[in-house]
Amino acid sequence: MKSSVKTAGKIVKPIVFVVDDDSSVREALSSLIRSIDLSVETFSSAREFLQHKRPDIPACLVLDVRLPGLSGLDLQRELATPKNDIPIIFITGHGDVPMTVRAMKAGAVEFLTKPFRDQELLDAIQQAIERDRELLKRRSETAMLNALYQTLTPREREVMGLVVRGLLNKQIAGELGTSEITVKIQRGQAMKKMKAQSVPGLVRISEKLGHFNQS
């Protein structure tokens, strides 16, 4: 499995974050993960990890469930925002079923009980990194579309909003109190700026921007 990505012509290794309060376990995990050519950064607590600035490369988190202070499951909840989302592999000394269910329901990639088979962990890590790569792609696409959206004038945004709701030019003009011809021009501008070839294309873009989620 190829795990490197090309960014600005330079090969950047995906990064695996490890959070465990036991230094022996941290060191062992770090060595194992580095042996398959991935970068590793280790943290002894959830707080320490939260303070760390995440680089914009595919990454995943190997997380001990039982941590002093903020627990692994607490950290998972903290990270469950579109901005901070990162695939999580849980490891635990003794996982009980409810705990596993909770973690998996909240979107964990895998839940492993120590001591685990190395291949199991490494497979889970690869899977998590792939998932993050997708997330990253979607995130950068969204970021790009957002940038394009910012170039629209307020009136063009209004027109675009009404277009994707399926209104005709005439109806839009009525809604906004302008002429049909003005709407037609503004609509053309918005399509051009958003790089949409067709109305369905504009609808998809709008979806990606999350405009439908709000209404």
Partner 1 sequence: MPRKREHHFWRTAAECVAGLIALALITFVCFHARITVPTPTFLYLIVIVLLSLRGSFISSAVVSFAAVGCLDYFFVRPLFSFEVGDPIDLVAVIAFLTTSAVITQLVSRVRNLMQEKLERSETYLAEAQQLSHSGSFGWKVATGEISWSAETFRIFKFDQTKKPTMGLIFQRIHPEDAAFVKRAVETATQEAKDFQFEHRLLLPDGSVKYINVVAHAETNNAGALEFMGAVMDVTERKRAEDSLHDAQANLARIARLTTMGELTASIAHEVNQPLAAVVTNANACLRWLDRESPDLDEARDAIRRIIRDGNRGSEVIARIRAILNKETKPKEWLDINAVVRETIALTRVYLRDASLQTDLSPVLPVVLADRVELQQVLLNLMVNAIDAMKTVTDRPRVLRLQTESSDGGFILVVVQDSGIGLDQNQMDQIFEVFYTTKPQGMGMGLSISRSIIDSHGGRLWAEANDGSGAIFKFTLPVAEGGAA
Using rule CB under 8 A, residue 51 touches partner 1: no
Q: Does 46 bind partner 1 (CB under 8 A)?
A: no
State the nearest-atom distance from the C-beta of 210 to partner 1, in Å.
Answer: 37
Please pick, from the candidates 15, 16, 19, 29, the single residue that binds partner 1 as defined by CB under 8 A. 29
Among positions 55, 107, 115, 210, the unique one binding partner 1 when judged by CB under 8 A: 115
Closest CB to partner 1 among 66 and 155? Answer: 66
Within 122-161, which residues bind partner 1 (CB under 8 A)?
A: none
172 touches partner 1 by CB under 8 A: no
CB-nearer residue toward partner 1: 32 or 50:
32
Distances (CA, A) of 167 to 173, 174, 188: 10, 10, 15
Q: Does 74 bind partner 1 (CB under 8 A)?
A: no
Say whether residue 25 binds partner 1 (CB under 8 A).
Answer: yes
Residue of 47, 43, 35, 37 whose CA lies nearest to 17: 43
Q: Which residue among 93, 107, 188, 210 contacts partner 1 (CB under 8 A)? A: 93
The least CB distance from residue 28 to partner 1, in Å, is: 4
Binding partner 1 by CB under 8 A: which of 68, 188, 200, 201?
68
- Please give the structure tokens belonging to residue 175: 């809604």
Q: Which residues bind partner 1 (CB under 8 A)?
A: 22, 24-25, 27-29, 31-32, 34-36, 66, 68-69, 93-94, 114-116, 118
